[in-house]
Structures are given as structure tokens and as C-alpha cells.
Chains A and B, each alone.
Chain A
Amino acid sequence: MKRILISVGLITTFLFSFACQPTGGGDKVRIGVFMSLTGSTANFGISSVNGIKMAAEEVNTAGGINGKQIELLVEDDRSDASEAATIVTKFVTQDQVHAVLGEVASSRSIAAAPIAQNAKIPMLTPSSTNPEVTRKGDFIFRSCFIDPVQGAAIGQFAAKSLNAKRAAIMVDRKNDYSTGLANNITETFTQMGGQMVATTSYQEGDQDFNAQLTSIKGANPEVIFVPGYYNDVGLIAKQARDRGITVPLLGGDGWDSAQLYAIGGKALNGSFFSNHYSPYDTDPKVQKFVNDYKARYNTVPDALAATAYDAAHIMFDAIKRANSLDGQAIRNALAATNAFPGVTGTVTFNENRDAVKPIIMIEIKDGGTYAVRERVEVEGAAAPTTATASPATEASPATGASPATGASPAAASSSPAATSSPAATRSPATAVSPAKPAATATP
């Protein structure tokens, strides 16, 4: 019995000293990053973490923040909201981070935000667009546009630029992002004289959309809004074309992924989505970012990589200006961010701690190439203008991201016919897998 007591005592002491360890180290800036590295929206998290890691490395090689190196603590929430909350709890209690970056999906940011708020640790989400996220408290910030602005831009684009009068909408009904965006699109579109002729829904992970699409076809719309995520949108587009629906589909930044065209293919030609940035922007700042990212990860950065990269830099900039690791000081510096020159546009936080910046509408063309169709300035959003992108710029993300361009080391070894078979057929997967491109990045 005594021996058990002693060992229990020893273990407790050990655990206690272990738990206390992080508090001792004041020489590093600890940033907690929670993202979906696996699960249904794994692509989002992987791109975002790539962007954040690149930003942190840039600052660290330049001497860190006020002489302190940045330490990133990256955790995978497996695309699950409750897991996100668990991770942020761990960040603020066990790891004692100074700031938190995450998530992409609004539902997961909403789950995590109250925990950061209660611990008074500033949290900055790079790409959660649901307005509810920053309403969780004054320590929660976002460096991207919000759904009402994005929804208004999509609705306005459909009503004014495409001259649509009749529209249908398909909502991912369990997803905060999708339902929020859908409401805002509907509001703007109907205000501008349009009519919603069919409203229907699906659930993330559904495989068969034929019943919904048949109803939509019967209503005869001119455009179909699909404010969902890429993995469902690709299937919806395919099944819509199979059902003989030829009108364009319109969506938001949830479409932005190399896998979108891999699944949807030709069915997506002529469809549009709104986004934060385009890698074909001619702005030298954007081009430098795109080239650095390509050199590092061997793939073209998507918008999530860009917004995450910006978010990380905005956070580092605020910590630098705060000149302190105190949560309140960082929060105040973050709130004072004014005209920060990011790759996704000039960022200023408004009184709701939301970023204000312009929105671009991208058209999907044959072969998965993207063209910037229009820069939408939504009335009342007061977005600062950056007149840099030429609307005619066009390039193929699929070709750039594919190992077939000759960057793949696999294709170089042994007989080309035998080795390029898996490389060619699996290139959509390679484009999103973090391990492979990172490991084979050009030195």
C-alpha cells in the first residue's frame, strides 16, 4: 500500500512539473493554430497551415518579433467542431499560447471562439465568413470579408452582371456558413428585382442530388446558387449537367480548392464563385507570395493559403506593435490594425473586428482555368480599392499544381510509362496532400 502511495505521489509530482513547464519559457511567441488537417474539409486546413507556416518562417528568419522567435503549435481538429473546442481549451490552459489562429469553417470557429474569449487570448480567424464568429467577444477577429458582404456580392453579380431574374438555391442546411450565405444572397438578389423560384437543401456528405435537381429543373431558373463546399459542389454540378440543367452555378469561397475541378470537371465550365484573392493577380506583392509558396510547397496557393498567410502576418504585426505578450495588449494592437498591406487586399478592421476589403468573382473556364471576371464593390461595405488585378488574366491552376509539369521527382525516375501512371491519375490528391509537395519542394 505504501509503495503504491509513493509511486502515485511520484507520478503526480512528475505530471505537475510537466504541466508547469510551458509557463517558464518566455523567450518564444507561442501561436496556437487549429485547422482541419483531416476529414471532409481537409484541403482547407492543409492550405491554411501551409500559409501560416510560411509567414512564421519569414518572420523568424528576419529575426522574429522584437527579437523573439515564433513557435507554432499546429493541431488537427479532424473537421469536427467539438474537437476544435477541445484543442483551443488545450491551447489556453495547457500550452498557454499568446494568440490563436483558426479555423476555416465558421461552425468550428464559433465552437472555439468562446473559449479564447473567456481566457482573454486573442483569436484571429483567417477565413470564417459567418458574422456570428466575431460576435462571440471582443478578443475574436477576422481578416476576411463576412458572409453578408460576400452574399451581397454574389447576389448583386447575378442580378446586375448576369441579368438573372429567376434563381434557384441549394443550401447545405446543417452548415452555418452555407445557411448564412444563402440568406444574404437571397436578400440581395430579391432586393435587386430577382425572384427565388426554387429553394432546396442537402446535407454535407450527401451523394445523390438528383431529386433536388429535378425539382429545380422544373422551376426553370436562370442561375443556381450553391453556397456550399467544394466536395459537394463538384458532385452537384456533375449531376445537374447529367439532368440536362445548363444554367451557371454560383457560389462563394467554399468552392476554392484544386479538387473542385477534379470532381466536377467540365460540368463546372461557365460557373462563378466569389473569392478573397486570385493567384493570377499581377500585383508584385501577390506574385512574390505565389512564387515563394510554389517554391516551398510545389503548388499554386489557393485563397485559403493566402488569407491564412495574411492572418498570420497581421497577428505577428499586432504582437510587434503591442511590444508585449499580454493578451489584452495584443488584442488592442490587433484592433488598431489600419490598412495592413496583405496579399488578399488592404486590411482594416471595422468596429465589429471584421476586415473590410474587396471581393472578386472568378469564372471557371474549360480545363479548370480561372479568370477574374469582376471586382465587386458591394454598396455600403466601404471597401478600400486596390486597382491591381487585370480582369483578363487567365491561367490554369490544374496545370500549375499538377506533377505532370515536370516538377514531380517520381516521373523522373525509371521508365516514364510505368511511373507516370499513378502520378497522372492521382494528381488531384497530390495537389492537396501536405506531405508530398512539402517533401519534394524544389530546393
Chain B
Amino acid sequence: MSTFLQQLINGVSLGAIYSLIALGYTMVYGVLKLINFAHGDVYMVGAFMGYYLANGLGARGAQMLGAGADGFIARGLLGSGAMEPSLITALVVMLLAMAICAALGVVIERFAYRPVRKYSRLTALITAIGVSLLLENGGQVLFGADPKFFPELFTKQNFNIFGGASINSADIVVLIIALALMVALQLIVYRSKTGRAMRAVSFNLQSAKLMGINTDRIIMFTFALGSALAAAAGVLVAIRIPRIDPLMGILVGLKAFVAAVLGGIGNIPGAMLGGLLIGITETMVVGYLSPTYKDAVAFAILILILLFRPSGLLGAVAQEKV
């Protein structure tokens, strides 16, 4: 029983990561009907920005070496005004990484997607794949192809809960931030003026333009928001699993996409639900069937959902305009 409970916790904490990335997918799709395949790679860039920022802020990467001399230097640093590793440092690093990736999102939209917006949706999709490849290979040139190890931004602790299972503080932080971002996103989209404009653009681009909405700016904002979410996910995942490399976004991005489709693409709570379901299913398959099927599960779910409920669990059944 405790093993099952532990697997459930493992699944939820893995699912929270998929949910976070799926949020960005689903929002861009909701507004533009564009599947932004570069989203997983923006997530990777976010993790790397976090890595450089954290090292720049003098977090405790040195202590991870465990060597006496390094520990000494790290102490010296902390005494000389560098930031104490804490939740605050983690938040500062995350917010800065989000800002950088928001800018990256705007650049991608301006120079890759806007020029092809007047053509068919397929053109935009292929462009998205191109941007994805550019980021992956550009990342290998810029950051180096070998894996980097993310510094520990705050002290991780294990909390024992009932039934002999335990939960890690990093998992709790990831879950809470994911939930908070989801609520914030929901508020932006349904309670703010910009959100209303986003929904209008999503409903009909031409009409929105006629109503005096600056559609270019709204689309740009959507990309900035989506990319910031991806960066948040990148930093949070790197805190939980401290190994990052330029190709880390491919598989996670694909699974998050499946999560978005499962929940109903374009639907914000749906992305959250889809991510959690994929995470839990994957963990249970590894725990109780065979780890060999780990990566196959998500895609089997994708096929099933497309066959039986293409609009997703929470998605509205789409009416084809004739």
C-alpha cells in the first residue's frame, strides 16, 4: 500500500511538470490555433538561463562538489554579499529566466511566425518545427552539448507522510508554483482586458481587428506569456532534477503536448488535468508493468484520445463551420 501511495506521489510530481509545460502549449493554441513545437525548446532555454543566472548569483554550486576547498570558497562568497541559497533566490532566478524567455518568445513570434501568419496553418506548423530545430542545435553550439548540472537553489527536504510514503520539498514547490501559475493564467485570460482581447483574437482575428484590437500586440503578448511559462517550468524541473542539456526539451515537450491534447487543447484546467494524468499513468506503468513502455504510454494515450474523444477530456466539442 505504501508503495502504491509513493508511486502516486511520484506520478503527481512528474505530472505537475508536464502540466506546467502543457499550459504554454494550450494557451498559444487557444489564441492562434498554432501548435508551437518550439515550446519544449523554449523550456530548455529557460532551464539554461536559470543555470547561468543561478551561477551568476553565486548559488551553492560549489558546495555540491563537496570538496573542502570549494566549500570554503563558497562560504567566503556567501559572506561577501552573494545571495544565500533559499526559496527567494530560486524565485528571483525563475522570474529573471521567465523575463528572458518572454523576450525570446516575442523575437520568435516576430521573425518566424508573423511573416507566415497570412499563409495556411500548415506553413506555421512547419515553421514551428524549424524554430524547434534551430533552438536545439543552436543550444548545442551556444551552451555546449554536454550535460550541465544545475546548482541547488534551496535545501531539499523529505517529509514523511502517513503510510510510510515521503514527499520532497522540491516536489511541493513545483506543485504549488504550477497551481499558482495556472490560477494566474486563468485570471489573465478571463478577468483582464488583455485577456478579453486574447479571447476575441482567438474567436476571430479579422473581427477583433475591426473592433480596434491591436492583434499583433495581443499575439505577441500571448507568445511572451507562453514562453515565460515554459521558462518557469524549465527552472522548476532543473531544481527538481539537476541535469540539463540542449536536447532535454524534445521528449518532455512532446509529452506535454499529449497532455494538452488529453485535457482538451486550448483549455487551461484541461492542460493541468492532462499533465497529471500522463504523469501518474507513466509512473504506474514503470512501477507495475515495465519501464520499457514508459515513453510509449503517452503516445498510446494520444492515439486513443484522438480516436475516441478528439476534443479532449475538458475540451468543448468543436463545431465544424460548414
- Residues of A bordering B, CB below 8 Å: 38-40, 42-43, 78-79, 173, 200-203, 205-208, 210-212, 214-215, 217-218, 231, 234-235, 238, 242-244, 259, 261-263, 265-266, 366-368, 396, 398-399, 402, 404-405, 417, 420-422, 424-429, 432
Tell whether B76 is near chain A: CB-to-CB under 8 Å.
yes
Q: How close is A76's CB to chain B, nearest CB, in angstroms?
A: 10
Report Cα–Cα, A259/B243, bound state, in Å.
11
The answer on a CB contact under 8 Å between A421 and B7 is no
The answer on a CB contact under 8 Å between B70 and A427 is yes
Interface size class of B (residues with CB under 8 A): 35 or more
Residues of A within 8 A of B241 (CB): 207-208, 235
| Binding site secondary structure of chain A | helix
Q: How close is A437's CB to chain B, nearest CB, in angstroms?
A: 15
A243 touches which of B6, B80, B248, B294 (Cβ 8 Å): B6
Residues of B within 8 A of A396 (CB): 67-68
The answer on a CB contact under 8 Å between A417 and B76 is yes
Q: List 30 A-B contacts (CB under 8 A).
A: A39-B145, A40-B146, A40-B245, A203-B291, A203-B294, A211-B282, A214-B10, A214-B287, A217-B3, A231-B147, A235-B241, A235-B243, A243-B166, A259-B149, A263-B242, A265-B66, A367-B66, A368-B67, A404-B67, A404-B69, A404-B70, A405-B69, A417-B76, A417-B77, A420-B73, A421-B55, A421-B77, A425-B58, A425-B62, A432-B146
Q: How close is B68's CB to chain A, nearest CB, in angstroms?
A: 6
Tell whether B155 is near chain A: CB-to-CB under 8 Å.
no
Report Cα–Cα, A214/B291, bound state, in Å.
13
The answer on a CB contact under 8 Å between A427 and B62 is yes
Tell whether B96 is near chain A: CB-to-CB under 8 Å.
no
Taking CB as reference atom, which chain B residue is nearest A426? B55
Residues of B within 8 A of A422 (CB): 55-56
Residues of B within 8 A of A426 (CB): 55, 61
B243 touches which of A207, A242, A417 (Cβ 8 Å): A207
A42 touches which of B58, B146, B168 (Cβ 8 Å): B146
Residues of B within 8 A of A417 (CB): 76-77, 80-81
Residues of A within 8 A of B56 (CB): 421-422
The answer on a CB contact under 8 Å between A398 and B291 is no
The answer on a CB contact under 8 Å between B14 and A262 is no
Tell whether B128 is near chain A: CB-to-CB under 8 Å.
no
Tell whether B319 is near chain A: CB-to-CB under 8 Å.
no
Report Cα–Cα, A212/B292, bound state, in Å.
11
Tell whether B130 is near chain A: CB-to-CB under 8 Å.
no
B70 touches which of A39, A234, A424 (Cβ 8 Å): A424
Contacts of B265-322 to chain A: CB distance below 8 A? 282-284, 286-288, 290-292, 294-295
Supplied contacts A173-B291, A420-B76, A425-B60, 14 more A-B pairs, CB within 8 Å: A38-B146, A40-B245, A207-B243, A211-B291, A212-B291, A215-B7, A243-B6, A263-B149, A266-B66, A404-B62, A417-B76, A424-B62, A425-B62, A428-B61
Tell whether B117 is near chain A: CB-to-CB under 8 Å.
no
B146 touches which of A39, A402, A425 (Cβ 8 Å): A39
Residues of B within 8 A of A173 (CB): 291-292
Report Cα–Cα, A346/B245, bound state, in Å.
39
Contacts of B1-48 to chain A: CB distance below 8 A? 3, 6-7, 10-11, 13-14
The answer on a CB contact under 8 Å between A402 and B67 is yes
Report Cα–Cα, A43/B80, bound state, in Å.
33
